[in-house]
Amino acid sequence: MSEIPAVKAFTQQNKGRSIWWKLHQLAGLQFSLFLSFVFITGTFAVMSHEIDWLLRPAIWVNPTAESDRVSWGEALDSSQKFYPRAMISAIYAPIHSAAPFDVVLSDNGERKHVYVHPRTGKVLGEGSWFNFHRFLRDTHRRIMIFETYKGVRIGIFLVCLTSIYLLISLITSFWIYKKWWLGFLRFPKGKSLRAFIGDLHRWIGLWSLWFIVIMCYTGLWYLQAELISYPPYPQDEYASDLSKTDRDKLSIGEALDLAIVNSDEIHSEFRVTHVLLQNRDRTKPLFEIQGQSDKAILVDPRGNSVWASAETGILVASRDASTFGVIDRLYIANNPLHFGTFGGYITKWLWFVFGLLLSGLSVSGVYIYVSRLALQEKLNVGFDYFLKNSWKGMGYARWPALGLTVFSFIAFPMLVL
């Protein structure tokens, strides 16, 4: 006897839906521990500089307008005078009006942060190189694995794989959530805790779609960039001297201020974010001045760079993101998109909030899975039941996920010591 068409269609529909459920569960549940770790560290990495500032009251200063700050060169000279034998490698602009200049240097083989008052130019104090920002950067970016294999940085590669799991979760969610487009205004109102969390999971997922798409795109871009070698960004080199002033007997700070003045010839309204010092131990040290200009939007500061002599302030090369081709522009836009730095604190706070929501989706998805098991077994979801069954539900993937997560916390203190 042949199967009734309606029953056959129903069976095929459930079978198809179960495949999407299994894929969604594979990506979201079995890798949930590692995904949650990457999401949480990435979320707090957005505000890591601000967290470091909060944890160090000694560097809090009265709000100082940018027009009232000492020059970059004065901050640099102040640090050099305070640490005359130190090798300065970088100087960063204050992250906000109540923060100091941040100078990175090596003193007697010890790398550290030195903080310079933005109004007086005096050294406020110093801090360890291994701070909260460094921990989050190295855990989120590479889970403290610095080794490479055939040119591929293993830690970065493993973290970038999470973009594939996130993409699978995104795609499958459209099949398991029927008529999802009607759910934006369907506020969570489940009668039980399980039903409420299920509603909340779907509702947050819908409103986070734009953010998830951005994280998938940027993560996949990081992944392919790790596997494919691209030529360096284009830059222009100069043989002529663009400065108009006497360059004899300049301090390193005076040379930097002159280089920044000269950089206006290349970048209109150039807003310097940080300066790197290159070749300090060689005969021709260089400044690499990075920042933002009005000629190109959504650009990492690396895209707008000026190189100048650290002895004379003479420009020797420059890079202008507005002249880049499509591939280079996509590449240089990835960091601002991934961390939400392109719009100041408006976008940074937006990325931080939605990063927390994305982390919550990973946890709530595990709870939904465990609550369904409890419903089948007619049991309540207690804390012990949740831990036991979520751990079991992760399958064999739980062991490498746990190992990579724990390794980050073990390796960081080893780096500090």
User: Tell me, what's the pLDDT at 229?
Assistant: 86
* Amino acid occupying residue 247: R
HEC string of 64-94 equals: CCHHHCCCHHHHHHHHHHHCCCCEEEEEECC
Q: What is the C-alpha separation between 177 and 172, in angstroms, rounded?
A: 9
Each residue's pLDDT, cut to its tens digit, for the chain (417 residues) gives 444 443 344 344 445 557 888 888 888 888 899 999 999 999 999 999 999 999 999 999 999 999 999 999 999 999 999 999 999 999 999 999 999 999 999 998 899 999 999 999 999 999 999 899 999 999 999 999 999 998 899 999 999 999 999 999 999 999 888 899 999 999 998 888 888 999 999 999 999 999 999 999 999 999 999 999 888 888 888 865 544 445 567 899 999 999 999 998 888 789 999 999 998 666 789 999 999 998 888 999 999 999 999 999 999 999 999 999 999 999 999 999 999 999 999 999 999 999 999 999 999 999 998 998 888 888 888 889 999 999 998 988 899 999 999 998 888 765 654
Q: What is the C-alpha separation between 83 and 105, in angstroms, rounded?
A: 9
CA nearest neighbour of 165 among 39, 334, 31: 31
Within 222-365, strands assigned E span 236-237, 271-278, 286-292, 305-309, 315-319
Within 177-280, strands assigned E span 236-237, 271-278
Structure tokens at 235: 């830059």
Structure tokens at 156: 């970065």
User: Tell me, what's the pLDDT at 375?
Assistant: 85
Sheet holding 305-309, edge to edge: 123-128, 110-116, 101-107, 87-92, 271-278, 286-292, 305-309, 315-319, 236-237
Residue 2 region, left (φ>0) first, then alpha (ψ -120 to 50), else beta? beta
CA nearest neighbour of 41 among 174, 161, 136: 136
Encode pLDDT of 203-222 as tens digits: 999 999 999 999 999 999 99
User: Please, which residues have CB within 8 angstroms of residue 2's CB and are 6 or more apart in sequence?
Assistant: none
Average pLDDT over all residues of the chain: 89
CA nearest neighbour of 288 among 268, 270, 303, 307: 307
CA nearest neighbour of 94 among 123, 73, 63: 63
Structure tokens at 281: 């131990």
